[in-house]
Chain A
Amino acid sequence: MSNTGKLSYKEMQELLPDYVFDRLSENEKAIFEQEIERYPDLQQELSEVRSVFGRLNQMDFNKTLGDYTRNTSVKVKQRLSAKSKRSSYFGNSFKYLVPTAALIFIAYFVFFNFIKTKPEPEIVENQKSAPLLSEQEFLSIFTSNIEEGELIDISQNLSMNCLSGDDIEEAIEDLASNDFFNDIMLSHLLSSDNDELEIDYSSTFYYEFINNISLIEENVFQIILKEIEDVEINL
């Protein structure tokens, strides 16, 4: 209500329902009755609202609501006791069952993920820094004389520093099973007929070798490089 004592049309509208339903204080009521003289259309509205709500004010809504809510407390009590019985039967088992099931579930996943995930072979520092050979140097290796015994040394050298633990065995197996390695390295380097290895650059195997060089995996390639680096070569 405004401090000046004069109420705006909007303020009078907002007071109208409370006036009709007798929710205003004596003071507010007096001000409203005094102010409404200035608003004839509000007077008309007031008499209309009063006449239709007169019937509503006589109604006993409490009784109607009471008819519907008569048994609510009994129903709630029954449901409460049923719930407490249920919780006494299953309460404890559910209390522990759910966390236990969750723990088993988590443990199962952690365990199987651990088994499935094999650690990648670690490349030790000196392998990473193995010097790369130029194409000429690389090819020159295959034109040099290599004895069978020296190949064994190569494998031994390979196993000394580059890889650790079980990974050495795995790396050697990979090398041995690699078609490229078998076809090119073993068949030519271990040729029992020739002491001196001659590479025919015009032959198809040379081109295969060049074409397939990009297919060698990085770690295998590094191993070969390391192997080559450690070999004593007589050019």
Chain B
Amino acid sequence: MSNLLIENDNRIIEEYCNGDSELAATSFVRKYEKYVFSIALRYLNNFEDADEASQDVFLKALNNLHKFKKKSSIKTWLYRITVNHCNNVIRSKRFRFWSRTENNFTEYEKNIKSETPYQILENNCFEERFLLLLGTLPKKQREVFSLRYFDNLKYEEISKMLGTSVGGLKSNYYNATKKIATMLKKLKEKGEI
């Protein structure tokens, strides 16, 4: 991160709320853009949608930064905004799909889940493919793996974000790791990685 940017969260909030908004906003977005994007990607499973969603999330967050009470970390707060926003996007997409095709929701579900983990891996570069592969895991396993492996968060913090006990998280983390290992092993055997 550039030295010109503000790194401290409290200073970012203070300066943004006191009117020096441009630098503070840029610092805020630059600091958390990958974090927000990766959450959106896991929920939306599409790079373009995740990009648009992360912009929306930052707009919402910046408009409400003065309301942030510091009872939780900025990461936890941003996580909630991102998840809520992504759920709204999924809902509206589902509704649009449903109203356009005049079919029921199960058609939509079939459509978005039609790609198997191995089909996903055929189409993108490995890092991208792996990020999309995560989307095929059950939600709790996917989230705990990503927040622990990529974002290096503590179990206590993840527990607050997901509303799950630390014991449950550890168990989900182990299961996710095992499933990913199995998928990667198969790909390795096929010589795809």
Contact B150 A61 (CB under 8 A): yes
Contact B29 A76 (CB under 8 A): yes
Interface residue stretch chosen among B96-104, B109-117, B170-178:
B170-178
Contact B177 A49 (CB under 8 A): yes
- The residue on B at minimum CB distance from A60 is B127
Given A60-B127, A68-B50, A77-B22, A17–B177 Cβ distance below 8 Å? yes
Interface hits, B128-157 → A, CB 8 Å: 128, 130-131, 148-150, 152
Please report the C-alpha to C-alpha distance between residue A180 and residue B26 in the assembled complex, in whole angstroms. Answer: 87
* Cβ-based interface call for B34 (8 A): yes
* Cβ-based interface call for A56 (8 A): yes
A44-82 vs B, CB cutoff 8 Å, 1 = contact: the mask equals 010011001101100111111110110011011101100
Chain B residues within an 8 Å CB radius of A83 = 59
Tally B residues with Cβ within 8 Å of A: 42
Q: Which of B55, B125, B173 contacts A79 (CB 8 A)?
A: B55
CB distance from B146 to the nearest CB of A (A): 10
Tally A residues with Cβ within 8 Å of B: 34
Given A14-B173, A73-B29, A62–B34 Cβ distance below 8 Å? yes
Contact B37 A65 (CB under 8 A): yes
Please report the C-alpha to C-alpha distance between residue A83 and residue B62 in the assembled complex, in whole angstroms. Answer: 12
Please report the C-alpha to C-alpha distance between residue A87 and residue B130 in the assembled complex, in whole angstroms. Answer: 42
* Cβ-based interface call for A21 (8 A): yes
Chain B residues within an 8 Å CB radius of A79 = 55, 59
B157-190 vs A, CB cutoff 8 Å, 1 = contact: the mask equals 0000000000100110110111011001100100
Given A20-B177, A80-B62, A56–B34 Cβ distance below 8 Å? no
Contact A69 B174 (CB under 8 A): no
Interface hits, A17-34 → B, CB 8 Å: 17-18, 20-21, 23
Contact A56 B130 (CB under 8 A): yes
Please report the C-alpha to C-alpha distance between residue A203 and residue B37 in the assembled complex, in whole angstroms. Answer: 96
Contact B25 A77 (CB under 8 A): yes
Contact A76 B181 (CB under 8 A): no
Chain A residues within an 8 Å CB radius of B37 = 65, 68-69, 72
Q: Which of B55, B62, B184 contacts A56 (CB 8 A)?
A: B184
Contact B59 A64 (CB under 8 A): no
CB distance from B78 to the nearest CB of A (A): 13
* Cβ-based interface call for B58 (8 A): yes
Please report the C-alpha to C-alpha distance between residue A213 and residue B77 in the assembled complex, in whole angstroms. Answer: 76
Please report the C-alpha to C-alpha distance between residue A64 and residue B41 in the assembled complex, in whole angstroms. Answer: 12
Please report the C-alpha to C-alpha distance between residue A76 and residue B24 in the assembled complex, in whole angstroms. Answer: 12
* Cβ-based interface call for A161 (8 A): no
A1-26 vs B, CB cutoff 8 Å, 1 = contact: the mask equals 00000000010011011101101000
Contact B174 A13 (CB under 8 A): yes
- The residue on B at minimum CB distance from A13 is B174
Contact A23 B59 (CB under 8 A): no
- The residue on A at minimum CB distance from B125 is A64
With contacts A14-B171, A56-B130 known, what are 12 further pairs, Cβ within 8 A? A10-B171, A16-B177, A48-B181, A49-B181, A55-B188, A56-B184, A64-B131, A69-B51, A73-B25, A75-B55, A76-B58, A80-B59
Q: Could you jot down 14 A-B contacts, CB within 8 Å? A: A13-B171, A13-B174, A16-B174, A52-B180, A53-B181, A56-B130, A59-B126, A60-B127, A65-B34, A65-B38, A73-B25, A73-B30, A76-B55, A80-B25
Going nearest first, the 7 A-B pairs with the smallest beta carbon separation are A14-B170, A64-B127, A52-B184, A73-B29, A69-B33, A17-B177, A65-B34
